[in-house]
A and B are shown apart, each in its own frame.
Chain A
């Protein structure tokens, strides 16, 4: 029997499976150490020392926290919808992890005579995929809050959902301006263009600012953490959750921070490009594999810088009030993004016309 149509490149499948495994474990480990980093950054900004008991510098603190969460009793409230109650944190985690599929982590390795691309899937609609998955993230919050059958959770879920939806608009508009410049939706192409030319932060500073603010809102981070507002809503949508289901919600937030840092670095800061170095000529000098490894390092440095920025903002700026949040989203960011889009479009057209009217 010859199933030529189903001729599968098993090695490619294995390669991608390994890559998926690596990237998911890396995102989880990074998310773990983000919790440690967050507590350290918070402490240092408040003139404290932060966790320093578990291991050197408190480095084993996330393990202890995770162990604690696993050891806690799992409670499913009687009046909740148990299926949706379980689905909520699962969905939050799933969408957080799925986004990493289209991010190019490095150029490629030459291993065993194979061209091993450091990207799980180079789809030509990469940005659309990210937007699709990220907007599914709101279901985790919404379903979790609603299934809890609790007024505070429901309020928080509605707040969170409306916030994420409103800020997604401005985010999408700011991205459209970038896409006009790049002419491509594939993240790898965008990075390669930046390697050849200059980083898109120089062309799209306003777009980047809007994207940054919106990604804070998408990640439910302070100053936009209205859906968990501890002092108003008792932790909001994860009020009824305990044990690792709560852990999943908290973890999903940190994975989201990691991934949105990666996306911002990719779109506006050259992704895996090593700054001030011509990667292609360096690869000819010292070989492709070391350069690819260096590119991973460079990318992670950028990501860590963004993660630090997320934390820095969190421990500086207080939470917005709901009406302020909506006013900022609808009356400031969306008009700004529209203006940015129009100006960019005008300049792109002018550039294509060789600066003649």
Chain B
């Protein structure tokens, strides 16, 4: 029969020779192999202390972005919700009041913004759809939770820390990912 690959090898069914039947050389060989492995470099990464770098296209938890003055970028246009194939995003819009110019960048903002992390498939289409660069996917992934309710992330969880009052928190939440789509 024609072998399928070049690595095919006929099974050797010869009876064992006396030397092979003694087993001891074979056992010694096996034991030398396992002993050699004791000194090999371990591929394990000590996870919580060390992390492996993510690929540049990694898509983790969402972040609602602010601009340099700490104002929320989101205008509650709903494009992300429309783009979302898993229908994980809901929002409620509200109008900016005259004294709230330092809080919201545009006249309209999202009073409620929720992402159901159990529905989300982390495809990143919301990030691509956003014209205001208000949402993007960070490098953290969704932590475990005890209840289903806990997986519905509201604005408290999603909003990035204010770059004016908390620059370190902002930089940490922002991570290495730059918002790349529109609004530049």
User: Are A317 and B42 in contact, CB atoms less than 8 angstroms apart?
Assistant: no
A355 vs B133: C-alpha distance in the bound complex, in angstroms? 99
In this complex, which of B27, B34, B35, B44 has the most chain A Cβ atoms within 10 angstroms of its Cβ? B34
Q: B183 an interface residue at 8 Å Cβ cutoff?
A: no
User: Are A316 and B44 in contact, CB atoms less than 8 angstroms apart?
Assistant: no
Q: Interface segment, A45-53, A119-127, A255-263?
A: A45-53
Q: Which residue on chain B has the smallest CB distance to residue A49?
A: B44
User: Are B30 and A317 in contact, CB atoms less than 8 angstroms apart?
Assistant: yes
In this complex, which of A45, A49, A312, A315 has the most chain B Cβ atoms within 10 angstroms of its Cβ? A45
Q: B37 an interface residue at 8 Å Cβ cutoff?
A: yes
Task: State the total of A-B contacts with C-beta under 8 angstroms.
Answer: 31
Contacts of B27 on A, CB cut-off 8 Å?
316-317
Against A, the Cβ 8 Å flags (1 = close, 0 = not) of B4-45 are 000000000000000000000001001101110110101110
Against B, the Cβ 8 Å flags (1 = close, 0 = not) of A47-83 are 1110010000000000000000000000000000000
User: Are B42 and A316 in contact, CB atoms less than 8 angstroms apart?
Assistant: no
User: Are B42 and A47 in contact, CB atoms less than 8 angstroms apart?
Assistant: yes
Near A by CB (< 8 A), chain B positions 43-74 give: 43-44, 46
B37's partner among A44, A49, A52, A317 (CB-CB below 8 A) is: A44
Q: A342 an interface residue at 8 Å Cβ cutoff?
A: no
Q: Which residue on chain B has the smallest CB distance to residue A309?
A: B31
A312's partner among B31, B40, B43, B44 (CB-CB below 8 A) is: B31
Contacts of B42 on A, CB cut-off 8 Å?
47-49
**Nearest chain A CB to B21 CB, angstrom units:** 9
Q: A26 an interface residue at 8 Å Cβ cutoff?
A: no
User: Are A45 and B30 in contact, CB atoms less than 8 angstroms apart?
Assistant: no
Contacts of B30 on A, CB cut-off 8 Å?
316-317
A209 vs B46: C-alpha distance in the bound complex, in angstroms? 41
A317 vs B32: C-alpha distance in the bound complex, in angstroms? 12
Q: Which residue on chain A has the smallest CB distance to residue B26?
A: A317
Near A by CB (< 8 A), chain B positions 134-176 give: none
User: Are A316 and B43 in contact, CB atoms less than 8 angstroms apart?
Assistant: no
Contacts of A44 on B, CB cut-off 8 Å?
37-38
**Nearest chain A CB to B121 CB, angstrom units:** 33
A48 vs B41: C-alpha distance in the bound complex, in angstroms? 9
**Nearest chain B CB to A305 CB, angstrom units:** 13
Q: A301 an interface residue at 8 Å Cβ cutoff?
A: no
Contacts of A52 on B, CB cut-off 8 Å?
46
A45's partner among B38, B43, B44, B46 (CB-CB below 8 A) is: B38
A316 vs B29: C-alpha distance in the bound complex, in angstroms? 10
A250 vs B139: C-alpha distance in the bound complex, in angstroms? 44
Q: A12 an interface residue at 8 Å Cβ cutoff?
A: no
User: Are A312 and B37 in contact, CB atoms less than 8 angstroms apart?
Assistant: no
A316 vs B26: C-alpha distance in the bound complex, in angstroms? 11
A317 vs B38: C-alpha distance in the bound complex, in angstroms? 16
Contacts of A343 on B, CB cut-off 8 Å?
none
**Nearest chain A CB to B36 CB, angstrom units:** 9
Contacts of B34 on A, CB cut-off 8 Å?
45, 312, 315-316
Contacts of B33 on A, CB cut-off 8 Å?
316
Q: A22 an interface residue at 8 Å Cβ cutoff?
A: no
User: Are A47 and B40 in contact, CB atoms less than 8 angstroms apart?
Assistant: yes
A46 vs B30: C-alpha distance in the bound complex, in angstroms? 13
User: Are A313 and B44 in contact, CB atoms less than 8 angstroms apart?
Assistant: no
A95 vs B169: C-alpha distance in the bound complex, in angstroms? 62
Contacts of A312 on B, CB cut-off 8 Å?
31, 34-35
Contacts of A316 on B, CB cut-off 8 Å?
27, 30-31, 33-34
A312 vs B46: C-alpha distance in the bound complex, in angstroms? 25
Q: Which residue on chain B has the smallest CB distance to residue A44?
A: B38
List 12 other contacts, CB 8 Å, given A47-B37, A48-B44, A316-B33. A45-B37, A46-B37, A47-B43, A48-B42, A49-B42, A49-B44, A49-B46, A52-B46, A312-B35, A315-B34, A316-B31, A317-B27
Q: List residues of chain A with CB under 8 Å of any chain B CB.
A: 41, 44-49, 52, 312-313, 315-317
Chain A to chain B: the 3 pairs with minimum beta-carbon distance, closest first = A316-B34, A44-B38, A45-B34
Q: Can you offer 20 A-B residue contacts whose CB atoms are under 8 A?
A: A41-B38, A44-B37, A44-B38, A47-B37, A47-B40, A47-B43, A48-B44, A49-B42, A49-B44, A49-B46, A52-B46, A312-B34, A312-B35, A313-B31, A316-B27, A316-B30, A316-B33, A317-B27, A317-B30, A317-B31
